[in-house]
Chains A and B, each alone.
Chain A
């Protein structure tokens, strides 16, 4: 008998605390684990798939610095949840945007918390993505065969910054108006097509209602869809190739 089997045998002869208390049955009933591990598992082998993922051993050289990627993902999840919550009240028109944001902050219960979380997690996510990139860089983890992952990474960085740039306009206050005016002027410096680019991004000659409508669409629909696609690519590649080796 190896140790694993001994442990199993032990479990069988001695009912554990949760078996005796009936807590497990209650938990399984309410959390649906009974269903997922029972009938559903018989059909789909969920347990095996879960165990394979949850009990995957972490190599010894992996340290806390390898958490930055996961933390970026966590912060993105916070953004998705708080962002959808803000959408329950936000109104994307130049007459109403600021009012609706003030209403969320001052009047809606816990609105200040939701807006504050979206604000701080947005800033932290950008910091975290840069830290993650630095980790990958200093571990040389960008080298082949992980070079394409670096490429998707750079795209993810651009998309994250895109979220920040478009989101900043949404409250439609002085600072967001002028930040967007200056920020959309920058592509104007591109030779030949610069002016066209600025007009395209603004949807007109100046930052206006059309700009707000565009930025809103980009911030809450287009970017979330595009980033999900690249995140999946990023994660599938990591899973296929495994984490890079020690320094």
Chain B
């Protein structure tokens, strides 16, 4: 025991304090990210003007392979962007009109499928099967050489 104490004395930073800093850092990181989520949570989209509707959302074409899709936030709502071909992109509200689950693009069926009660929609938002009472809202899109702009004709 005496030996151990003496050998620890020569070290610039003791194991005990290293562990303390490490613990502090972990708590700080976790607490920090929780505080971030908490702060964001308290400012809903309406409070920060994201629902006003005049704004546009841009998605890089590089992130959207042909046949692929991406969920973005437009007017404060989850919105699905689907690239059906080189120059054709659709943007639709991703909120199922039945009970509000988030629909997913099924590339092989070329349909939007709701995971909750299996409503399906085509790329224009029309209901093709299931309990959904209304089509999905669809938005204008514009393709530039490297971006899709949602909300611009």
Contact = CB atoms under 8 A, between A and B. Distances in A.
Give the top 6 A-B pairs by smallest Cβ distance, nearest first: A102-B100, A109-B40, A110-B37, A17-B13, A110-B41, A108-B44
B14 interface: yes
A108 B41 contact: yes
Contacts of A89: 44
Interface string B8-48: 01001110010000001000000000000110111111000
Residue from the set B14, B77, B102 with the largest chain A CB neighbour count within 10 Å? B14
A10 B9 contact: yes
Contact of B5 (A6, A27, A106): A6
B43 A109 contact: yes
A111 interface: yes
Given A109-B40, A110-B41, A114-B37, 12 more contacts: A3-B2, A7-B5, A10-B9, A17-B13, A27-B24, A85-B41, A98-B100, A105-B100, A107-B45, A108-B45, A109-B37, A109-B41
B67 interface: no
B99 interface: yes
Q: Is the interface of A mostly helix, strand, loop or mixed?
A: helix
Contacts of B100: 98, 102, 105-106
Interface string A97-119: 01000110111111101100000
A106 B102 contact: yes
A16 B17 contact: yes
A88 interface: yes
A123 interface: no
A17 B14 contact: yes
Given A6-B5, A10-B9, A106 B95 contact: yes
Interface in A10-29: 10, 14, 16-18, 27
Contacts, number: 56
A111 B41 contact: yes
A17 B44 CA distance: 44
A112 to B, nearest CB: 9
A88 B13 CA distance: 46
Contacts of A107: 44-45, 76-77
10 contacts: A6-B5, A88-B42, A89-B44, A102-B95, A106-B102, A108-B45, A109-B37, A109-B44, A110-B38, A110-B41
A201 B99 CA distance: 28
B10 to A, nearest CB: 10
A6 B40 CA distance: 50
A173 interface: yes
A113 B78 CA distance: 15
A114 B41 CA distance: 9
B153 interface: no
Contacts of A27: 24
A114 B44 CA distance: 13
Interface in B88-123: 95, 99-100, 102
B133 to A, nearest CB: 15
